[in-house]
Amino acid sequence: MDTLKGKTALITGAGRGIGQAIAFRLAKEGANIVVNNLDAAPANETVATIKAAGGNAVAVVGSVTEDGFAERFIQTALDTYGDINIIVNNAGYTWDSFIHKMSDKQWDAMMDVHVKAPFQILRAAAPHFKAARKKEAGEGIENFRKVVNISSVAGTGGNAGQVNYSSAKSAVLGMTKTLAKEWGRFKVNVNCVAFGWIETRLTEAVDGEKKAIEVEGNAIPVGIPSPNLAGMKMMVPLGRGGTVQEAAGGVYLLCSPDSNYISGQTLVVGGGFSF
């Protein structure tokens, strides 16, 4: 408890699922949380839950792909809490098709949310990281900040029907390794978590009728046919999908002080499964 007391963590896509679980875990450890979500109601619910438990949180509603979002997100953290210690680039979704059926719109959507948005957020944070390190170095302080980018086993090994998502999540690995090299001098640990099968609304079982969510005016199919899930269960050495709390635990490891000498790495949270 309180391993992150006084730290400020920014988490995209934190209104539901894995992102919300990450927000709750980091808040439990004492961090101030800046919650982003595309929709206001889930973002405000996450904030209210954190506050009810005695924590601090503020919402920044909107799409991470909007013009100016990154600057608004970063500035809200600085205006509210005065510092940025942790950034978790979690927001995202899948929009699957085999390549011969995939549209440019599907490709661009995955690149925008999984690659361009994290790039813009981290670029907006860079001046603060640089200035904070300069100040702390002058005071003889070694203070580590954390970036955790979210990838997938589809990004580490590919996955049929997900050329757009897999390509985007693979790009996240390159971004992570590059920024670990660029930002080491600022005492910023930049790491990546690649999730396997985690049980969320995007991976819930579907039988017969397909389910969909709406993302920025597009109907996005979600869920996995039950027979496919049964096959996936057999492929996971631990015998089941992970919970969102277990997913959040992997992220927390790379936000904690125990990761101060770990940077440029990808942690697979998949119950032993990888492509």
Question: What are the residues whose beta carbons fall under 8 Å from the beta carbon of 58, sequence distance 6 or more?
Answer: 33, 34, 35, 47, 76, 80
19: enclosing H helix or E strand = helix 17-28
Position 189 in a domain: yes
Residue 238 lies in a domain: no
Q: Is 51 inside a domain boundary? A: yes
Confirm whether 230 is domain-assigned. Answer: no
In a domain, 170, yes or no: yes
Element (H, E) at 46: helix 40-52
Q: Which residues are catalytic?
A: 165
For the record, the structure tokens of 213 come out as 């969510």
98 within some domain: yes
Q: How many independent structural domains does the chain possess?
A: 1
User: Which CATH number do you get for residue 39?
Assistant: 3.40.50.720
pLDDT for position 243: 97
Confidence at residue 208, expressed as pLDDT on a 0 to 100 scale: 66
Domain, as residue range, for 76: 8-197+244-269
Kindly state whether residue 59 falls inside one of the protein's structural domains. Answer: yes
pLDDT for residue 224: 81
pTM: 0.95
Structural domain includes residue 93: yes
pLDDT at 232: 83
- Residue 72: which of 121, 11, 19, 139 has the closest Cα? 121
pLDDT at 209: 67
Residues of the chain with pLDDT under 50: none
